[in-house]
C-alpha cells in the first residue's frame, strides 16, 4: 500500500485526465529520502502505467512531496485557424518550445520564444504585404514590426515580446524586472491580436458596407 502520508497523483501524465490512480508498488531509497511509486491510470481509454517520485524535503518522514511523474506526454498548444494559416512555422516552433518547457529547460524556452516571435511577425508581415517578401525576410525583426504591422495592439505586444526575447538570447539583460512568464504572456497577446485582426478583416471583406459609395 502507498504510505498514508503520501497523496496519490490526481492527474494522469499520459492522458492528462483527472483520475484516482490504481497503486501498484513502491520502492524506497532511504539514503536519498526518495520514494518511487508505480500507478496505473484507471481510464478505459488509457490504462497506462506511470511512476510518481516523492521526496522527503525535511528528511523527517513528514515532508513528503510529489516532485515528478514519468513518463509524461506533452500537451501541445492549439492555435486558431487564422494563426495556423498565417504562420504554420510559428505553430511548429511553439510545439518544440512546449516540450522544452515541460522539461524545465528555461534557457531553451526563452530562445525558442524569441524565434517564434520572429517567424510569426515576419510571416504576418509577408501575409499583409506579399510584394515586400524579400525585404521582410532580410529585415531586422524590430524594423519589420515597426514598418509592416498595421495594428497598434499587435505592434505594442510584438515589440515588447521581441525585447524580452532578445534578453533571453543575449549575455546581458536589459529588462531585469521581467522574466519568461512575461514573455509568454506577450507572445499570447500578440497571437490574440493577430487573430482578431484577421477575423475582422475577413468580415470586412465578406460583409462590405452597403451604404459605402452611395451618394
The model's pLDDT over 2-23, given as tens digits with 9 standing for 90+, comes to: 666 788 999 999 999 999 999 9
Q: Give the chain's domains with CATH numbers.
A: 1-73 (no CATH), 81-204 (1.20.120)
What pLDDT shows up at residue 215? 47
What pLDDT shows up at residue 129? 97
Mean pLDDT score, 44-50? 96
Average pLDDT, the chain: 92
Q: Residue 82 pLDDT more than 70?
A: yes
56 compared with 84, residue with greater pLDDT = 84
- Three-class secondary structure assignment of the chain: CCCCCCCCCCECCCCCCECCCEEEEEEEECCCCEEEEEEECCCCCCCCEEEEEEEECCCCCCCEEEEEEECCCCCCCCCCHHHHHHCHHHHHHHHHHHHHHHCCCHHHHHHHHHHHHHHHHHHHHHHHCHHHHHHHHHCCHHHHHHHHCCCHHHHHHHHHHHHHHHHHHCCCCCCCCCCHHHHHHHHHHHHHHHHHHHHHHHHHHHCCCCCCCCC
The model's pLDDT over 143-199, given as tens digits with 9 standing for 90+, comes to: 999 999 989 999 999 999 999 999 999 999 999 999 999 999 999 999 999 999 999
The model's pLDDT over 122-153, given as tens digits with 9 standing for 90+, comes to: 999 999 999 999 999 999 999 999 999 989 99
What pLDDT shows up at residue 1? 61
- The DSSP code for 94 is H
Q: Residue 33 pLDDT more than 90?
A: no
Cell 510571416 belongs to residue: 123
Q: Using CA atoms, how far apart are residues 146 and 72, in angstroms rounded to an integer?
A: 41
How far apart, in Å, are the Cα atoms of 115 and each of 68, 74, 90, 93, 162? Answer: 29, 20, 8, 8, 9
Q: Residue 116 pLDDT more than 50?
A: yes
Amino acid at each position: 500500500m502507498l504510505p498514508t502520508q503520501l497523496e496519490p497523483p490526481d492527474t494522469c501524465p499520459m492522458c492528462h485526465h483527472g483520475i484516482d490512480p490504481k497503486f501498484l508498488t513502491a520502492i524506497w531509497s532511504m539514503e536519498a529520502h526518495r520514494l518511487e511509486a508505480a500507478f496505473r491510470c484507471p481510464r478505459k481509454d488509457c490504462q497506462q502505467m506511470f511512476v510518481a517520485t516523492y521526496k522527503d524535503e525535511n528528511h523527517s518522514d513528514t515532508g513528503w512531496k510529489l516532485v515528478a511523474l514519468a513518463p509524461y506526454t506533452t500537451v501541445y498548444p492549439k492555435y486558431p485557424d487564422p494563426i495556423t494559416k498565417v504562420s504554420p512555422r510559428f505553430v511548429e516552433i511553439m510545439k518544440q518550445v512546449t516540450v522544452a518547457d515541460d522539461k524545465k529547460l528555461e534557457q531553451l524556452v526563452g530562445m525558442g520564444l524569441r524565434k517564434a516571435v520572429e517567424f510569426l511577425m515576419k510571416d504576418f508581415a509577408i501575409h499583409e504585404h506579399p510584394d515586400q517578401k524579400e525585404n521582410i525576410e532580410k529585415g531586422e525583426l524590430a524594423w519589420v514590426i515597426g514598418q509592416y504591422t498595421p495594428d497598434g495592439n499587435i505592434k505594442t505586444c510584438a515589440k515588447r515580446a521581441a525585447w524580452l526575447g532578445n534578453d533571453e538570447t543575449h549575455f546581458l539583460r536589459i529588462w531585469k524586472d521581467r522574466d519568461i512568464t512575461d514573455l509568454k504572456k506577450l507572445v499570447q497577446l500578440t497571437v490574440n491580436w493577430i487573430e482578431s485582426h484577421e477575423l475582422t478583416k475577413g468580415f470586412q471583406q465578406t460583409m462590405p458596407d452597403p451604404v459605402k459609395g452611395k451618394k
